[in-house]
Structure 1
Amino acid sequence: MTHIAWLGKKSPFCGNVTYGLTTTEALRLRGHEISFIHFDTPPGSLGADAGANGGEVALEVALPYLVKSQVYTIPSPGAQRELRESLERLRPDLVHASLTLSPLDFRLPDLCQQLGLPLVATFHPPFDASVRNLSAGTQQLTYQLYAPSLARYDRVVVFSDLQADVLMRLGVPARRLAVIPNGVDPERWCPAPSPSTAEHLADLRQRFAGQRVFLYMGRIATEKNVEALLRAWRLVQPQGCTLVVVGDGPVRQSLMQAYGAEIGVHWWGHEPDQARRAALLQLAEVFLLPSLVEGLSLALLEAMASGTACVATDAGADGEVLEGGAGIVISTQGVTTQLRTLLPVLRDQPVLTAELGRRARQRALERYTLSRNIDQLELLYAELVPQGSLAA
């Protein structure tokens, strides 16, 4: 088995955190040794971290930081030295960095080359697949900024062919890229109540009795375009339906002030409990994702695996995920207008939403399971780590 030094985030809650924790848990359960290196306090600590769900105990290293948010991280001046010393102590077979939009991301290739360690990056920043002029937009500038450094990583894990195409046009060699879509556990995210979700689901059914639930779950930030969804909901106000908005973010308060009194909008807030999030998806009839830019949304994959009818924009790879009838794909242009047309249809056609939910679940099982994701990661690791150097 392989000893992997995983460099990522454990907080604050965001897609990057979910990806890192879920992936390392699955790798541990397959017998790999994981040393999790992340930004936290106290700085420079080296201790044991019990794996979730019975996984093997892993070493955990905390690096000091100045600023840490859902979007980016600014390390302390001594973080690079602490990272180097930690890698020298741990002596992993391979380093896998789930990139945190941090200055350390650009220094890793030199550091790992000096230490003789293979280096893998997971690069999942959102983008708008319809934008072909990469000189425009903050997200496109992120890709331009990172491309020269990504070309020096041994492998860069991306989630779709669309994203790989963007990076290749910016000069990242195709041989460096590995298209490995995000994956979810279809037993944890499933249509039927489980022992962990049954009580939560019963409570939710009582709370929203007589209402059909439409759900948004994710960060409430400008790029997520939640306001377009709220405008459409205000215009339609579908009778007998409730829009539940789960999440937090920089524009939540302003949107609550503007739309807080709307009939049929329930502001749930941040939900840290995974079982309760799973129950919300089991309860919901429709999952709505109006993003302007996106990567490959884990929330969307979780909704699909839960058998919830999904409506998403074609931002990032989300349109690719739902294409061919697995959901309804709308354009990032004119989201409010499109949703204003769709919401009455979804309200009046429960048979349609049930069929869309069935197809979403089937697509998730075919292409986007966690086990499929881990299978591909293991093959990638095997290419980079000589068999004679694997950890016992």
Structure 2
Amino acid sequence: MHIAWIGKKTPFCGNVTYSREMTNGLLDRGHQVSFFHFTNEGQPPALDPGGEGWRAELDRRDVSLPCLYKSQIYTIPAPNAKRLLTQALKELQPDLVHASLTISPIDFVLPEICAELNQPLVATFHPAFDRRRRNIASRTQYLAYQLYAPCLANYHRTIVFSETQREILVKLGVSPQQVVVIPNGVDVDKYAPGPSTLKQRLGLERIFVYQGRVSPEKNLEALLKAWKHAQMGEKCGLLIVGDGPLLNTLKPFYTLQHGIHWLGYIADEQQRIEILRGADVFILPSLIEGLSLSLLEAMACGLAAVATDVGADGEVLADGAGILLDPTRVTAELQTLLPLLRDQREFTQLLGMKARQRVLERYTLSHNINQVEQLYRELCQGSRQHRWV
């Protein structure tokens, strides 16, 4: 099967990881992939395999589309991007188009383009959410769902990561038959417990990790305040893996003196895995989430998981697979919880085992791709039987 995948390569975010892992997995199963991604105007065309973690295969084509601006959240295509996309899809004639939506005007014209070319169209809809809309971030993000729902009704299928996310789109008018729940997944052979020299190198006995953007919606300051007030001791460390707009604001106030290690963005996947294998607890204090791949990766490596009950993360940690925080009381709850996780090692080990078991049961990459392949087959069979309208 030939899949035209429309997604992101940069800047690094969950959408980038999702596109990389899914397309690499499809290639491993013998499918042909043409990868469409946006490149800032003035940059040379991206004809290379795309950097760390991306497969370079003869049956993979990379197609660059010009854009005026792109960030972790949204993309502004160049005026000629629609024409170039249409021309490329017409020439390549894929069996199916799969768009890992990048929050871009292109998302709204894709149904028209694919209807003209008689190509089945699938979306993966990533925006974070909080079903209770308890803060400005979640209420603002809900506007994206309201904006996209009429457009998604014109896609043949939309993949979301949780039942809650599906319910939101259905309430906004997307047909229940068009919305399919296929959760994120991780490679559980790659992300697995294993040896690490992290504690020896840092001189620590207990390690807590946050991995993600250093941005307002991640609510990192609530974690940092709790850590500072909990006085965790010199043998405990909090590792911050990632960067973002709040890095220079927060870093001067929460330092190594408090046991906080700012590692920045780490591009090398093996280094990130080695950090997770050497840590004890993963904490995600977000105000809004979709389904965090960083959370799943940490759980797969056997870390005890602590996250706010937002997005699909509450479903991931339900029934004892981790500890859920109230997003409106993160600092207070963590200030009590952190010393417990520091001192009760058997408890954290048990949580780590439950976390990995939950990933093995529900969130493996292989199961994810199985479901996506089945969806592709159904749509391609329908395409052969009649023209899409």
* TM-score relative to the length of structure 1: 0.93
Which moved further from structure 2: 50-59 or 220-229?
50-59
Q: Which amino acid aligns with 1:26?
A: G
Alpha-carbon separation, structure 2, partners of 1:133 and 1:345: 28
Q: Name 1:331's counterpart in structure 2.
A: 326
Match status 1:291 vs 2:301? no
- Report the equivalent of 1:24: 23
- For the 8 Å contact 1:224–1:290, the answer to whether it is kept is yes
Match of 2:38 in 1: 39
Amino acid paired to 2:2: H
The partner residue of 2:157 within 130, 137, 155 is 155
Measured in 1, the distance between the counterparts of 2:11 and 2:204 equals 35
1:216 aligns with 2:210: yes
| Aligned match of 1:198 | none
Deviation track 1:154-201 (CA, whole Å, cap 9, x = no partner) reads: 0000000000011111111101001000000001100023xxxxxxx3
Write the distance in 1 (CA, Å) between the matches of 2:129 and 2:349.
Answer: 30
Aligned to 1:206: 200
Question: Number of aligned pairs?
Answer: 381
The 1:273/1:78 distance shift into structure 2, 3 A limit, reads same
| 1:1-392 equivalent positions in 2, closer than 5 A | 2-40=1-39, 45=45, 47=47, 49=49, 52=54, 57-131=59-133, 137-193=139-195, 201-202=196-197, 204-239=198-233, 240-260=235-255, 262-386=257-381
CA contact (8 A) 1:46 1:59 kept: no
Gaps spanning 5+ residues in structure 2: where?
385-389
Q: Distance in 2 between matches of 1:46 and 1:71?
A: 21
Structure 1: how far apart are the matches of 2:143 and 2:190?
36
Partners of 1:351 and 1:366 lie apart in 2 by: 23
Are the counterparts in 1 of residues 4 and 94 from structure 2 also a CA contact under 8 Å?
Answer: yes
Tell me if the contact between 1:44 and 1:61 (Cα under 8 Å) persists in the aligned partners.
Answer: no
Distance, in Å, in 2 between the alignment partners of 1:322 and 1:357 is 11
CA apart distance, 1:92? 0.2
Aligned partner of residue 61 in structure 2, secondary structure: strand
What is the SS of the residue equivalent to 1:292?
coil
Question: Helix, strand or coil for the counterpart of 1:39?
Answer: strand
Partner AA of 2:104 in structure 1 = S
Q: 1:166 to 1:387 in 2, by over 3 A?
A: closer
Amino acid at match of 1:16: N
8 Å CA contact 1:129–1:317 kept in 2: the answer is no
Report the alpha carbon displacement of residue 212 of structure 1 after superposing the two structures with TM. 1.0
Counterpart code for 1:95: V
**Retained in 2: the 8 A contact 1:119–1:155?**
yes
Q: Which letter does structure 1 place at the counterpart of 2:94?
A: P
* Cα distance, 1:134 vs structure 2: 11
Matches of 1:100 and 1:10 in 2, distance apart? 11
Mapped to 2, the partners of 1:106 and 1:155 lie a distance apart of 14
Amino acid at match of 2:27: R
Secondary structure in 2 matching 1:324? helix
Q: Per the alignment, in what secondary structure is the counterpart of residue 191 of structure 1?
A: coil
CA–CA separation in structure 1 for the residues paired with 2:330 and 2:135:
21
1:197 aligns with: none
Match of 2:387 in 1: none
**How far does residue 261 in structure 1 lie from its aligned partner after superposition?**
5.5
SS in 1 for 2:116: helix
Q: CA deviation at 1:333?
A: 1.2
Cα–Cα, structure 1 residues 45 and 230, in superposed 2: closer, same or farther, change >3 Å? closer
Q: CA deviation at 1:208?
A: 1.6
Amino acid at match of 2:102: T
Q: Secondary structure at the match of 2:307?
A: strand
Q: What secondary structure does 2:15 align onto?
A: helix
Q: CA deviation at 1:260?
A: 3.0
List gaps (5 residues or longer) in structure 1. Answer: 194-200
Q: Partner of 1:232: helix, strand, or coil?
A: helix
Q: Match for residue 196 of structure 1?
A: none
* CA deviation vs aligned residue, 1:20-69 (integer Å, no higher than 9, x gap): 01000000100110000000256795857499467554011000010011
Tell me the distance in 1 between the aligned counterparts of 2:9 and 2:48: 15
Contact 2:301/2:356 (8 A) holds in 1: yes
| Identity over aligned pairs, percent | 53
TM-score in terms of structure 2 length: 0.93
Q: Deviating runs (4+, > 6 A) in structure 1?
A: 132-136
CA change 1:205–1:371 in 2 (3 A) is same
Moved more, 254-263 or 355-364: 254-263
Task: Mark the CA change 1:135 to 1:232 in structure 2 (over 3 Å): closer, same or farther.
Answer: closer
- The RMSD of aligned alpha carbons is 2.2
